[in-house]
A and B are shown apart, each in its own frame.
Chain A
Amino acid sequence: MRRLLSFCTVLFILSWAAEHTYAQSPPAAGQSSTQPPDPSTAQPADQSKAQPPDQNAPADPAAAQPPDQSRPAPQTPGVRTGGVKLGDTVTVGGYGSVRYEANTLEEPKPSGFDFRRFVLTTDATPNDRLQAYIEIEFERLAQIEVERAVDRFDEGVKFAEELEGGNGGEISMEQMWGQFKFSDPFSVRFGMILPPVGRFNMNHDDDRWDIPRRSLVDRNVPILPVKAAWSELGIGALGSVPVGKSGQLSYQGYLVNGAVLDFTVEKVVEAEEPDEPAIIKLASEVSLGRGPVNGEGGVRAGTWRVGYSPTLTTDFGFSGYIGGYVPEFLEGDERTAESREVEERITSIGIDGLWKYGAFALEGEYIHTDFGDTDRVINGFIDSVTGSTGIAPLAGAEGTEAEFAIKDLTPSRQGFWLEGRYRFWREKWKNNFLGKGFDNPGLIGVVRYERVTLHDAIEEVAIENGEIERGDAETLRQERTTLGLAYRPLQSVVFSVAVEFNRRLEGSVLLFPRGFPERRYTSILAGMAFGF
């Protein structure tokens, strides 16, 4: 690995040096010695792209513009702007965010400093028709440390392995795709993509938002089938076409492996009673997550979005996702008729929009997700664990416990968020500590209202110690109003404070944080996000 890294580093340095020796590099920002290109000598690869002037045309901006088919392709969805250029073809960028939270919840109080995430992006464009994009996320991850040891002693040998890491830490490949542009309105993308349901999942970069917490709809509950940033492996097409004088119609459509119920195995060492030996507990939990990426499970889903932007200040979209989510191991035994029919589907529909008027912007999203007949899924799970007998496995050996659980099933969910932002600045502030040295700093006042509902939610069905415990279904509903103030010295750097007012509208517990009994609670957030 070290040799490979060294080789790649040497290769990169050599190529960089060669390019900068024999070719003129693009000018660097802020350098007074930067020389502009000469438009009179710039020759296009395709001379037909140079549009001759129309002497009879009126003095209108349109007259100076090329025909629509000559427009460069719009920014591809999901791709960050900015970054540090490596050579002529690769740009490395990223973003990071941290947050402080205090709230009025009782113990266990989720508060304190929170390393939300650091994301590295690599955008490789060897040609304007070819693009590769990679986004790797480190979320709440300070370290992972693995220790392995072999001890040989007189009576035998001991193999030991120890894994250390913080709670909730995650490394995730959020995007990794290649794209081939057939023409401006039609490109094909292949790889790990972001399902374009709603507008947040595609625009999830923390430095883009002025409130230091993602929405209930997309992240905290979520109403999306999988919390943002949700990615899936697949292939699809995307593009955009101009409509009328100022409109733009865009589309994306993908076939993907699709979200699926998958299992995790939890290991617990637990001291339950005084003077009793501790127990070792193994729990297999089945819950919904992003689809497999190992070529198993088949292509189960499709996702799409059609967007229309009639003017520069207005943009709205209609999106969806449909696909099976029940894995083969839950479809049960063919001997029982009912279990054979567990082929439920997720159907998500999203409507989203953005409208700007001067310094004011209004943005929002509504998502409805249906999971089909979740009772059948639960029965399929019970059938699988009990071998279609309905009899739970007996308790394990003394000192051990085994649990099988399926979590967080809801026949349908829905929710929306609506965010209003107002950007303001006074010229007299340009020399104070907020404005000095920055071209276009700004303060943004922001209000967000969200409401989410889980219909007939079952938090967990557990099979343990010879018993099947099926939680009661109940509808849970919560609303959250957030007032915030953000300061942006640069477009990609934001310092923000916010107050959240949460209220449980229906059900016995809160949806976020899940399970807390409070009727209302208030949070204070302070955050920072940066992009490059």
Chain B
Amino acid sequence: MALMRALLAILFLLAAAPGRAQQDTTVYMTLEQAPKSLFPGAEIERKDVSSTHEFKEKLKARLGRVTPTVWEPSYSTFKATQDNKTVGYAVVVDEIGKVNPFTLIVAATPDFRVRDVAVMVYREPRGGEITQKRFLAQFKGKGNRDPILLDRDIVGISGATLSVIGANRAVHKALSVLELVYR
């Protein structure tokens, strides 16, 4: 009984502790750095797109079965050109992993297939394996018609399942946004 009391007290005191979620936040790239990192040497043209009701409805229709956990009010998108030729597009999106959102930048080729994915901000102490190169490399070449689903065309990470599912949603959403804006 004494043990149970001690456990309960510890549990509730920890729950009552002031919020310190910011301490778990790791910023890997800022909004300025991210597109340059994905398209080195290219000229970057930024375009902020407001997620109007009409845009959101189109996005929903394009996403189909995929239901994002975050609906951004606007999207920072980028067009990369080199020698007057479009080499790709990119967009910044957020999705929830376990309980907090993480921020990804997804770069696409001119035919809207994933060229690169990078984590810009990760806000949780768990599930951080999704920032690993070996995980993100799986998305390369994926298009919006691919399943991009755990255990189908994406290999999961034991212990980071929710973050993996979140990353899958984020890539789907990013490709859909880019298609809506640039196609």
Contacts and interface: CB of A to CB of B under 8 A. Distances in A.
Chain A partners chain B: yes
Interface of A: 1, 4-5, 8-9, 11-12, 14-16, 19, 23, 26-37, 39-40, 42-45, 49-66, 70-77, 79, 81-83, 85-91, 122, 124-128, 131-132, 134, 176, 203, 242, 245-246, 248, 311-313, 315, 354, 356, 359, 423, 425, 430, 439-440, 442, 491-492
B89 interface: no
A75 B132 CA distance: 13
A176 B162 CA distance: 23
Given A51-B29, A53-B37, A87 B15 contact: yes
A302 to B, nearest CB: 24
Interface residues of B, number: 93
19 contacts: A11-B16, A28-B69, A29-B69, A36-B72, A36-B103, A49-B27, A53-B29, A53-B33, A61-B136, A64-B117, A70-B26, A72-B128, A81-B98, A81-B161, A83-B98, A89-B19, A126-B17, A312-B157, A313-B155
A491 B162 CA distance: 9
Given A15-B17, A37-B94, A88-B20, 11 more contacts: A14-B16, A19-B18, A39-B29, A40-B31, A53-B40, A61-B117, A64-B37, A82-B161, A88-B17, A311-B134, A439-B67
A49 B122 CA distance: 12
A43 B27 contact: yes
B27 A44 contact: yes
Nearest to B137: A61
A57 B23 CA distance: 30
B99 interface: yes
B15 A86 contact: yes
A176 B6 CA distance: 12
A61 to B, nearest CB: 5
Residue among A55, A72, A127 with most chain B CB within 10 A:
A72
B25 A131 contact: no
A97 to B, nearest CB: 18
Contacts of B15: 12, 15-16, 86-87, 89-90, 124
Given A88-B19, A134-B7, A27 B33 contact: no
B14 A73 contact: no
Contacts of A85: 99
Nearest to B160: A75
A295 B14 CA distance: 26
Interface of B: 1, 5, 7-34, 36-41, 65-67, 69-73, 76, 92-94, 96, 98-101, 103, 105, 107, 115-129, 131-138, 140, 149-152, 155, 157-163, 165
Given A27-B69, A32-B71, A42-B27, A81 B16 contact: no
Contacts of B99: 26, 85, 91
Contacts of A315: 158
Given A4-B5, A73-B125, A439-B66, A49 B23 contact: no
Contact of A50 (B33, B100, B155): B33
A375 to B, nearest CB: 39
Contacts of B135: 312
Q: Which DSSP category, helix, strand, loop or mixed, fits chain B's interface?
A: mixed
Nearest to B123: A37
A203 B115 CA distance: 35
B158 A75 contact: yes
Contacts of A246: 133-134, 137
B26 to A, nearest CB: 6
Nearest to B21: A88
Given A39-B120, A45-B22, A59-B115, A203 B125 contact: no
Contact of A72 (B7, B67, B131): B131
A44 B103 CA distance: 13
A390 B71 CA distance: 79
Contacts of B12: 8-9, 11-12
A368 to B, nearest CB: 25
Nearest to A72: B128
Residue among B103, B134, B150, B152 with most chain A CB within 10 A:
B134
Contact of B129 (A58, A75, A423, A442): A75
Nearest to A23: B19
Contact of B40 (A34, A40, A56, A71): A56
Contacts of A27: 69-70, 96, 101
A9 B8 CA distance: 10
Contacts of A65: 28, 118-119, 131-133, 136
